[in-house]
Amino acid sequence: MALKKYKPVTPGQRFKVISAYDDITTNKPEKSLLVPNHSTGGRNNSGKMTVRYRGGGHKQMYRIIDFKRNKDGVPATVKTIEYDPNRSARIALLFYADGEKRYIVAPHGIKVGQQIVSGSGVSPDLGNSLPIGEIPLGSIIHNIEMRPGQGGKIARSAGSYAQLMSRDGRYAIIKLPSGETRLILCACKATIGIVSNGDHSLEVSGKAGRSRWLGRRPRNRGVVMNPVDHPMGGGEGRASGGNPRSRKGMPAKGYKTRHPKKNSSQYIVERRKK
C-alpha cells in the first residue's frame, strides 16, 4: 500500500495525496454480488431534508460483503483484490471450492491465489476466520462479532485491528482500536490480521470537488447562523459562539451522552482513553 503525490499542474493537485491503488488487481467487480445503492440525499420517505450537507455524488453499486464468514470448512481461493466505493478498506473476492463466490474485507498482506478457510479447528493464519476461543493470545484480529452468528461489527475500517489480550471463562478480553478493553464471548468469530489500506488516514483530497463526488455538500458553522437556526448563532459582530453545541443544544465537548445504565456497560473492562 503506497501513497501518490502529484506534480501541481492544476490547483487541485497541489496538496493532493491519494492511494496509488497498486494493491488492486482488477477494476471490474463481480456482477452477481452487486446490488443498486440508492442515495437519499438526506431526505426521508416524504422528501423532507432530515440530514443536512448531503446530496449529489457519483453513482455507486453496493458490493455484498460476507461479514459472517459462516461457510465453515470449505476452502476458498483469493481471486482478486478490489476497490470498494462504500468503505475505506479493500475487498477480496473469494472463489470457494464448491463454486460459490463471496466478498470479504481484505486483510493487509493477503495475496491473489492464497487459500483461506473459516470455522472451528482451522489454523490461525492470515485471513482465516475462527472462534475467539481458539485464537492464540496476543493475536491481531479484525471483523469481530459481538454476538455469535451476528457477523463482524468491530474493526472493519481501513488499517484498524484489535488485540486478543486474555481469556476468562466464557469471555475473552479484547483491546479495541479506540483503546477500550472489552469482554466478548469466546464463541464469537474474528478474522486474523489487520484490515487493508492502512494509509487511508494519510490521504489528502486536495480540493472540495472530491468531497462532492462522495456526496458531501458544504457544511457551514453554527456560529455564522442566526439564533433561530442554531444555539450558537446570533450576536453582534463576529461572535465566537460561547459553548460548542449541536443544533439540538447538546454540548459538543466533554459532555457524556452514554446512558449510565446501558446494558452493555457490564462488558466494558476499561473505557477508551480521552
For 223: left if phi > 0, alpha if psi spans -120 to 50, otherwise beta; the answer is alpha
Burial (0-12, 13-18, 19+ Cβ within 10 Å), 221: exposed
Enclosing H/E stretch for 142: strand 140-142
What is the model's pLDDT at position 1?
63
229 lies in a domain? no
Whole-number pLDDT of residue 45: 96
pTM of the complete model: 0.92
Burial class of 175 by CB neighbour count within 10 A (0 to 12, 13 to 18, 19+): middle
Domain annotation covers residue 69:
yes
The rounded distance, in Å, linking the Cα atoms of 182 and 265 is: 9
**pLDDT score recorded for residue 273:** 80
In b/e form, how buried is each residue of 27-40, taking b as 16+ CB within 10 angstroms?
eebbeebeeeeeee
Residue 215 is assigned to a structural domain of this protein:
no
Provide the grid cell at 235: 450576536
pLDDT averages per 10-residue partition of the chain, 274 residues:
91 95 95 96 96 96 98 97 97 97 98 97 97 97 97 97 96 96 97 97 95 96 93 91 90 91 95 83
| Structural domain boundaries enclosing 131 | 3-42+53-201+263-270
How many domains does the chain divide into? 1
List all residues 6 or more positions away from 150 whose beta carbon is below 8 Å from its beta carbon.
Answer: 68, 188
Q: Domain holding 118: CATH number? A: 2.40.50.140
Residue 236 belongs to some domain of the structure: no
The reply to whether 92 falls in a domain is yes
Q: Answer whether residue 219 is part of any domain.
A: no
**Is 106 a member of any domain?**
yes
Q: What is the largest CA-CA distance in the chain?
A: 71
Measuring CA to CA, which residue among 190, 188, 191 is closest to residue 149?
Answer: 188
Query: Does 22 map to a domain?
Result: yes
